[in-house]
Amino acid sequence: MTADKRPISAEDLNKIHTVQEPQISPDGRFVAFVKVRPDQLEKTYKRNIWLLPLPDGDAFQLTRGGTDSGPRWSPDGRQLAFVSSRVDQPQIYLLPTAAPGGEARPLTSMENGAHSPEWSPDGARIAFLSPLRQDERAAEDAGVKKPPEPKDKLESKQRKERKAEDELNSWDPRPMWRIPYRQGVSYVDERYDQIYVLDTAESAEAKPRRLTDLNASYSQPRWSLDGSAIYTSRTTAPEGDEPWRAMNIFRIQAETGAEEALTAGSYTAYGPTPSPDGKWIAYRRGHIGVTDLPERLVLMSADGAETRVINADLDREVIDLAWSPDSELLLSIEGEGNILPWLYQPESAELAQLHDGIFEIEQIAAGANGLAALTLSTPRNPQELYLLSNGGLREATTFNHDWLAEVFVQDVHELRYESPQGPVQGWYLLPLDYEAGKRYPLAVNIHGGPHAAWGFSTKTMWHEWQFHAARGYAVFYCNPHGSGGYGEAFMRKLHAAWGPVAMDDIMAGVDAFLELGIADGNRMAITGGSYGGYMTAWIIAHTDRFKAAVSQRGVYNIASFYGTSDVPLLMSNEFDAEPWERHDVYWDNSPLKYAANIKTPLLLIHSENDFRVPIEQAEQLFAWVRRATDTPNHMLRYPREGHELSRSGEPGHRISRLTEMIEWFDRYVNS
């Protein structure tokens, strides 16, 4: 080690900045984007909009609200629309950019907030979404007037308290008539996103005009070229369970609200994005009732006469997309541990990779003359804004550079190997104090999904892997069969066999890594979250090779998961049966069935408001292991958190999770 650097710590989480939602101005002079930083004191994250002058200026902060997101340029480039919760509910604001530093003015004052702004082609209107219950829509249609503005802060406070009390009483008792009845970290309140249109002129007195009236949420509105219609998507089964699994594309007339379905059949279709020239609509498509096939990106002519599946032959999944001003389609495509930029030209139907490398693109924006702005992570930096132009890629921000100059960052090495299922791709990091010839403890990490994928540069795991290496562990992870990024056949291999297939892949990778002579096979720990938690429990119930295990937000009893999760159809789709039809299939594939075999000291980490994988899953495994074995077994419950604890939970909770995990490893692996 050198004296001017130090190991990465759990607390370094607070020093990592990320970037989101890049948007290139119509004149190509600026990139607007959101910079995010943790705020441990407030138990949240500060989000502000920044501008990057092009071609090579220094980024500067534009807003300071702390809750600002969703920047969208006006067609003339003179204003930015964005969403902010700086007062109360999220609302849409407009900010002049001709002289950066001007005051933002609120465009909306919707009772339940507003989001997802989209400028009309002439800049005279903005379409947006706002959630309402059926009774609220009826009151709006009846012309029920809102009360006048409060006289003072006291009256405003009293109104908010009255509204909160009325909301609470309206759900006492709380009816549940459809699944899901809770999502994220809260119960569903039967408010659905509706599409509104509002004039943007500061002198305009027009009120927001609602175009839709269904108990179904509409997706991001997108204007047609002539401004006469809006493209969106919504469920075709509003009364059904998990309604998002059956979606169609719709065109809605901007004046009358008349809807026309543009897709139908056995596919679910969502996220329509029309081309600037008005000729094409790109959208995503999946099979209804199937959850382990890659999504396809479809290009449909505006008149519906022609459709093309862009990524069928490539057999890789599109992560993000953006139209350029000249109607070429910029794509980020996942494949074998990277997410790289591609370009699709509709006129020639050519799909070509724009740049090779070792990195992962999260979000993309397209400008004129081949310019693109990318939020991008590399093996040595968790995220920055990059610019792609004429085949060249360069880093445009340096938010993490000062911190990275303070700490040691370990390189990521690829390891390809054979498992009983076929070829698998994995990666490893050396421990910080690595010396050739010595053997080190090993931390094995397993991803969730089960059809997610990791790679060289995965942003959400970057700090965690580096922290494990800094604490003296070799780190190994892989993409077992079922992972995305390797095509349809690879993904389907996991179907109806979650445990055995992935265990073969993971353990074959562990053995391949041990053969390198870096790690000590008698000092191994294992961890994972969600499906990775499932696999952690499955593996330690079928082998005693690990000295410590930390299972996070895992599924352990598939049958009870079906009855408590917000995605029960995941199980019937993946295992080809409902639990009452084939309970034996559900039980045989549940780690809980084998809990009495667990001999590895087990730490369970779960969030109390996790409605994707409810905490009853961890409670069952904790009780079974404690009652059936003498294995050391401990459980941590994190209040206020949901399924995203490790990725977007309170900064203090995320640091606690990392610390508790590594201390559990140390206690049993190094004893």
Position 277 pLDDT exceeds 90 = yes
Q: Phi/psi of residue 517, each to 5°?
A: 80, 20
CA distance linking residue 141 with residue 143, whole number of Å: 5
Per-residue pLDDT, 203? 67
Pairing of strands 412-419, 422-429: antiparallel
Report the pLDDT value the prediction gives residue 178, as an integer from 0 to 100. 87
Report the predicted TM-score, pTM, of the whole model to 2 decimal places. Answer: 0.95
pLDDT of residue 611: 96
pLDDT at site 602: 98
Q: Which pLDDT value is given to residue 391?
A: 79
Statement: residue 146 has pLDDT above 70 = yes
Say which range, 100-109, 126-135, 622-631, has the weakest mean pLDDT. 100-109
Q: What is the predicted pLDDT for the residue at 304?
A: 83
Model confidence at 286, pLDDT cuts 50, 70, 90, reads: very high
What percent of the chain stands above pLDDT 90? 87
Calculate mean pLDDT across residues 470-481.
98
In three-state secondary structure terms, 647 is helix
174: which residues sit within 8 A by CB, 6+ positions away? 181, 187
Task: Evaluate if residue 486 carries a pLDDT over 70.
Answer: yes
- Which residues have a Cβ under 8 Å from the Cβ of 323 and sit 6 or more positions away? 273, 274, 275, 276, 282, 329, 330, 366
d(CA 214, CA 208): 17
Q: What is the pLDDT of residues 77-126, one digit of tens each?
A: 999 999 999 988 999 999 998 765 578 999 999 999 999 999 999 999 99
Radius of gyration over alpha carbons of the chain, in Å? 26
The answer to whether residue 384 scores a pLDDT higher than 70 is: yes
Section 139-147 average pLDDT: 88
CA distance 145 to 560: 47
* Helical packing angle, 651-669 and 459-470, nearest 10°: 40
Sheet holding 519-529, edge to edge: 412-419, 422-429, 474-479, 440-446, 519-529, 548-552, 602-607, 633-638
Residue 460 tokens, joined: 């959400």
Torsion of CA 643, 644, 646, 651, to 10 degrees: -120
pLDDT band at 539 (very low <50, low <70, confident <90, very high): very high
| Cβ–Cβ under 8 Å, residues 29 and 47 | no
3-state secondary structure 322-370: EECCCCCEEEEEEECCEEEEEEEECCCCEEEECCCCCCEEEEEEECHHH
- The bridge status of strand 267-274 relative to strand 280-287 is antiparallel
Domain 409-669, architecture per CATH: 3-Layer(aba) Sandwich (3.40)
pLDDT of 253 > 60? The answer is yes
Euclidean distance between CA atoms 634 and 272, whole angstroms:
47
CA 102/CA 62 separation, integer angstroms: 9
Residue 67 DSSP symbol = B
Distance set, CA 595 to CA 123, 315, 548, 627 (Å): 61, 38, 15, 10
- Residue 190 near residue 137 (C-beta atoms within 8 A): no
What pLDDT, on the 0 to 100 scale, is given for residue 652? 97
Residue 125 half-sphere exposure toward CB, CA atoms < 13 A: 24
Show me where the domains of the chain are located: 134-190, 226-309, 409-669
Distance CA 523, CA 257 (A): 64
Furthest C-alpha separation in the chain: 79
Q: Is the pLDDT at 205 greater than 70, yes or no?
A: no
Beta pairing class for 125-132 and 633-638: unpaired
What number of helices (H) and strands (E) belong to the chain?
Answer: 13, 38
Q: Per-residue pLDDT tens for 577-587?
A: 999 999 999 99
Which of these ranges, 145-159, 194-208, 299-313, 387-401, has the smallest mean pLDDT? 145-159
Torsion angle of the four alpha carbons 448, 450, 453, 457, in this order, in degrees rounded to the nearest 10: 0
Q: Report the candidate in 231, 213, 28 with the shortest Cα–Cα distance to residue 120.
A: 231
* Backbone phi, psi, residue 84, to 5°: -145, 145
- Among 330, 420, 424, 433, smallest CA distance to 372 is for 330
DSSP conformation letters of 81-125? EEEE-SSSS-EEEEEE-SSTT---EE----TT--EEEEE-TTSSE
Mean pLDDT for all residues in the chain: 95
